[in-house]
Amino acid sequence: MTSTAPHDGRTFRIATIPGDGVGREVVDAGRAVLDEVARRSGFSLRWEELPWGSEYFGETGRMMPADGLEVLKGFDAIYFGAVGWPGVPDHVSLWGLRLAICQGFDQWANVRPVRFHPGVTSPLRKADSTELDWVVVRENSEGEYAGLGGRNLSAREGGEVAVQTSLFTEVGCERIIRFAFDLARSRDRKSLVSVTKSNAQQYGMVLWDEVFRRVAADYPDVETESVLVDAMAARFVLRPETLSVVVASNLNADILSDLGSALAGSLGLAASANLNPERRFPSMFEPVHGSAPDIAGQGIANPIGAVASGALMLDHLGEPEAAEMVRSAIDTVTASGTLTRDLGGTATTAEVTAALVAALDTASRRADREEIPATS
Ligand code: NAI
Ligand code: MG
């Protein structure tokens, strides 16, 4: 089955899982923007909303139905909000839904662009939206989130033990490293940095380093470097202009991508694509941030991370011009100063969403004008 074959009249079937907290607010915002760009671009998105998440857990004892993956299989893509809510342990909600989908659909490549936007103040003194832009490629199927281990000896009061094992396979390392090389090759700056902690983790991460060196031989046109994760954290802050594509294991890239989005101005900005590159299963698109219980329900969540994740979904569905229109609308809106509170503004989620829809109008009118040939 190819999960993204375009249908008659370019209709894409999208499953939405808004999930918990601000996930619901930003997914609604994303749908409004994506429907508008679809209308202007001549395709349509057929949404089906699935009410899975912590509330569903409260009612059924499960984060999604037992046949959840079967239900999702038939869709062209999945548009996800966030999961996690007080009352349900975080490991239960994460493993019961998001990780169950990522692993069940072998979405082994997690692409997380770090983009800087005009009009958004970064905590980096030298940040400039024209110079800084890099992509974190996260191994998304094994590593530290392989889910292997166990707990035992709880009868020894205060003496329980837990083992959490990281899993590194040569196949898993090679496919994500090749994916990152291909991405690096497609960019203006053809450079790839591999991030590990192989001085301390001498088995899995040394295997990763060896695979990186071996695969690098197939990409002589891409500049390469191997850096330890602690040094890379410092490099994100001190020399971000040297970064183009950064590839790292599941945990390390998870941490680095939150750092990247904070440097760009807010966790609310960052987009993410969980890809099954072979397209045997649907891929899933979601903002990097979580359910933000501290601001949920107030209508003030920043929708940009979810909207930009929608642009990544359009790229994946074969609609790159529409994706570009969405990205350009985001820059128009940030440059105009319509910003949510996390970016120092006062705009609500609804106001930013309306501004994004209006910016699509300007963008497409500008495109129309440019297409009209000069007659006089
Ligand atoms: P979080 O990302 O939800 O929030 C961290 C901080 O960023 C908070 O101060 C929040 O207000 C702010 N923030 C996040 N998104 C924002 C947005 N769109 N606009 C403005 N501000 C925003 O991370 P936290 O607090 O560690 O986790 C909350 C819950 O989310 C937990 O249950 C956690 O397990 C879950 N989570 C789920 C993820 C997912 O579904 N992919 C990813 C990360 C966390
Ligand atoms: Mg994270």
Q: What is the pLDDT of residues 339-369, one digit of tens each?
A: 999 999 999 999 999 999 999 987 666 655 5
- Determine the residue of 267, 302, 309 to mutate for testing ligand 1's pocket, defined as the one with the most ligand atoms within 8 A of the Cβ atom: 267
How does DSSP classify residue 340? B
Q: Strands (DSSP E) along the chain, which ranges?
A: 11-19, 44-49, 77-82, 109-115, 133-139, 143-152, 161-167, 191-196, 223-228, 245-248, 271-275, 283-287
Q: Is 254 assigned a catalytic role?
A: yes
Whole-structure pTM value: 0.92
Q: How far apart are CA 279 and CA 311, in angstroms?
A: 18
Q: Identify the residue whose tokens are 């800084």.
A: 132
**What single-letter amino acid sits at 130?**
T
Q: Is 197 assigned a catalytic role?
A: yes
pLDDT tens digit at each of 376 positions of the chain: 344 444 457 999 999 999 999 999 999 999 999 999 999 999 999 999 999 999 999 999 999 999 999 999 999 999 999 999 999 999 999 999 999 999 999 999 999 999 999 999 888 876 666 678 899 999 999 999 999 999 999 889 899 999 999 999 999 999 999 999 999 999 999 999 999 999 999 999 999 999 999 999 999 999 999 999 999 999 999 999 999 999 999 999 999 999 999 999 999 999 999 999 999 999 999 999 999 999 999 999 999 999 999 999 999 999 999 999 999 999 999 999 999 999 999 999 999 999 999 999 876 666 555 554 444 3
Q: Is 308 in the pocket of ligand 1 (CB under 6 A)?
A: no
User: According to the model, what pLDDT value does residue 336 have?
Assistant: 97
User: According to the model, what pLDDT value does residue 85 have?
Assistant: 96
* Tokens found for residue 179: 């994916």
User: Whose Cα sits closest to atom 27 in ligand 1?
Assistant: 290
User: According to the model, what pLDDT value does residue 80 have?
Assistant: 98
User: According to the model, what pLDDT value does residue 149 have?
Assistant: 96
Q: Is 353 in the pocket of ligand 1 (CB under 6 A)?
A: no
User: According to the model, what pLDDT value does residue 1 have?
Assistant: 38
Ligand 1 atom with the smallest distance to the CA of 88 is 32
Beta bridge pairs of residue 82: 19
